[in-house]
């Protein structure tokens, strides 16, 4: 049995303390003074809003931004983004409730929501049809039948896009290519039959296609080429089958340079992306939806956990945290080096020994009874002591939502909006 651990950071060093915004440091030190062990996500809604405005301003008018709520479902962040995005992408009834509360539909218009998910249950589909969302991305013929039946029972028609698993995407780069077996979408060879079914079912208004084949792409040129391909494929397929094309959903896929200080990663060039897209608009009347999640919220959050102990074992130093993969599973699950900063806390009980590690590689581990509870390995730290706070920047996406909250039954991490 192999144990999955994040890659070693050696021989690199931890972030300096000043990588943490002053407002974040102040809030964490206030928490430390409360007397309870610090274990929290701190979010800044202004950072998320600024990122959304940056992307929205760079894109041509025909491109719409739908925030993927799964990346960070904290209501304060969803609310901060609402004025700056065109809508939300959801995959559950709880996400649907968050989205419709944050951005209600204007009278007489669909709810500004697109919905995804490979195995939507009847209750989920019913909620989506009742809400009158802009598009339900249907994943199978059975899902089409269910949507039509639900819409008929409710006396309405549901707007539906077919999610397609393309046979091939003629674009190279940081993309998850199509043509592979997957639980997501309808294989391209089966699209013609699915289109015929959707067009004959009485409760469905087929508005277009959903193609989500890109993931965490950092190259703006490649991603623009991918988006252009999605548009061209959708237009050609709609013409072939006589579809009144109004909606193309190209998924998310805009990347975040999580390992910029460890690899030769550069942030996604939003301005260049927008310039390239503007050169190839879709036909008139066709909305193109982008579903960025992590790109909008990654840098608006910090995961912070108190160092409960510092241990030295057979030549390795460990900083044990009040937290771990039960709070912040991303580094282990995504196999990345997610760097840390140490926030010194000077308060310490008089007469109590205070173990530390200084000027040596340190492995940051959590409180769970498994060696897999490892967040960062072998990063050289100037000094870390019991009672200090380990802070992981760029933790605003797939952090709290992605963690193993119930394992061992420890308290979940707090979530705090600055």
Domain boundary among 268, 297, 326: 297
Q: For residue range 131-178, list pLDDT tens digits in order.
A: 999 999 999 999 999 999 999 999 999 999 999 998 888 776 556 656
pLDDT less than 70: residues of the chain: 1-3, 172-179
Q: Is 339 in the same domain as 255?
A: no
- Count other C-beta atoms under 10 Å from residue 19's C-beta: 16
Cα separation, 143 vs 109, whole angstroms: 24
CATH number, domain at 365? 2.40.37.10
Catalytic choice (230, 300, 352, 369): 369
Domain around 272 = 46-297
**Domains in the chain, number:** 2
Q: Is 355 in the same domain as 336?
A: yes
Let me know if 369 is a catalytic residue.
yes
Domain boundary among 297, 327, 343: 297
Query: What pLDDT is stored for residue 172 in this prediction?
Result: 64
Give the closest residue to 342 by CA, choosing from 372, 367, 379.
379
Domain boundary among 281, 297, 313: 297
Q: Is 205 in the same domain as 110?
A: yes
Query: What pLDDT is stored for residue 216 in this prediction?
Result: 86
Q: For residue range 56-100, list pLDDT tens digits in order.
A: 999 999 999 999 999 999 999 999 999 999 999 999 999 999 999
| Residue 3: inside a domain | no
Cα separation, 395 vs 24, whole angstroms: 13
137: phi then psi, degrees, rounded to nearest 5? -80, 100
Q: Is 235 in the same domain as 331?
A: no
Query: What pLDDT is stored for residue 69 in this prediction?
Result: 98
Q: Is 85 in the same domain as 171?
A: yes
Q: Is 27 in the same domain as 82?
A: no
Q: Is 231 in the same domain as 210?
A: yes
CA 81 to chain centroid, in Å, comes to 14
- Count other C-beta atoms under 10 Å from residue 290's C-beta: 27
Query: What pLDDT is stored for residue 177 in this prediction?
Result: 57
Query: What pLDDT is stored for residue 212 in this prediction?
Result: 87
Instruction: Tell me the whole-structure pTM to 2 decimals.
Output: 0.94
The one-character DSSP state at 38 is P
10 Å CB burial of residue 300 (0-12, 13-18, 19+) is: buried
- List all residues 6 or more positions away from 400 whose beta carbon is below 8 Å from its beta carbon: 41, 72, 74, 327, 412, 413, 415
Q: Are 345 and 353 in contact (CB under 8 A)?
A: no
Query: What pLDDT is stored for residue 274 in this prediction?
Result: 96
Q: Is 108 in the same domain as 172?
A: yes
| Residue 6: inside a domain | no
């Amino acid at each position: 049995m192999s144990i999955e651990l994040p890659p070693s950071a050696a021989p690199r060093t931890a972030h300096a303390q000043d990588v943490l915004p002053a407002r974040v440091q102040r809030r964490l030190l206030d928490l430390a003074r409360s007397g309870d062990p610090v274990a929290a996500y701190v979010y800044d809604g202004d950072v998320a809003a600024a990122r959304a405005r940056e992307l929205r301003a760079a894109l041509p008018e025909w491109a719409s931004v739908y925030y993927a709520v799964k990346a960070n479902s904290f209501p304060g962040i969803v609310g901060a983004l609402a004025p700056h995005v065109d809508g939300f992408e959801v995959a559950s009834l709880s996400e649907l409730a968050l989205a419709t509360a944050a951005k209600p539909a204007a009278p007489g218009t669909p709810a500004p929501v697109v919905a995804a998910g490979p195995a939507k249950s009847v209750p989920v589909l019913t909620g989506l049809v009742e809400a009158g969302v802009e598009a339900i991305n249907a994943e199978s013929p059975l899902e089409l039948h269910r949507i039509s039946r639900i819409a008929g029972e409710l006396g309405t028609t549901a707007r539906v896009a077919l999610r397609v698993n393309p046979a091939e995407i003629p674009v190279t780069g940081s993309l998850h290519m199509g043509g592979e077996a997957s639980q997501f979408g309808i294989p391209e060879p089966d699209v013609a039959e699915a289109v015929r079914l959707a067009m004959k079912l009485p409760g469905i208004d087929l508005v277009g296609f959903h193609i989500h084949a890109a993931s965490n792409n950092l190259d703006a040129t490649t991603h623009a080429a991918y988006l252009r391909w999605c548009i061209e494929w959708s237009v050609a397929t709609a013409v072939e089958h006589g579809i009144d094309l109004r909606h193309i959903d190209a998924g998310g896929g805009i990347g975040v340079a999580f390992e910029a200080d460890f690899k030769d990663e550069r942030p996604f060039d939003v301005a260049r992306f927008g310039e390239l897209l503007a050169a190839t608009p879709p036909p008139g009347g066709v909305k193109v939806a982008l579903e960025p999640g992590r790109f909008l919220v990654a840098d608006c959050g910090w995961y912070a956990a108190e160092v409960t102990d510092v241990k030295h074992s057979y030549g390795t130093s460990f900083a044990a945290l009040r937290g771990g993969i039960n709070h912040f599973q991303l580094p282990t699950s995504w196999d990345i080096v997610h760097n840390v900063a140490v926030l010194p806390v000077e308060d310490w009980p008089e007469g109590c020994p205070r173990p530390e590690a200084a000027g040596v590689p340190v492995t940051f581990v959590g409180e769970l009874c498994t060696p897999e509870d490892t967040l960062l390995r072998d990063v050289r730290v100037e000094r870390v002591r019991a009672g200090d706070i380990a802070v992981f920047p760029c933790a605003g996406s797939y952090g709290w939502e992605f963690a193993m909250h119930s394992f061992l039954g420890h308290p979940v991490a707090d979530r705090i909006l600055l």
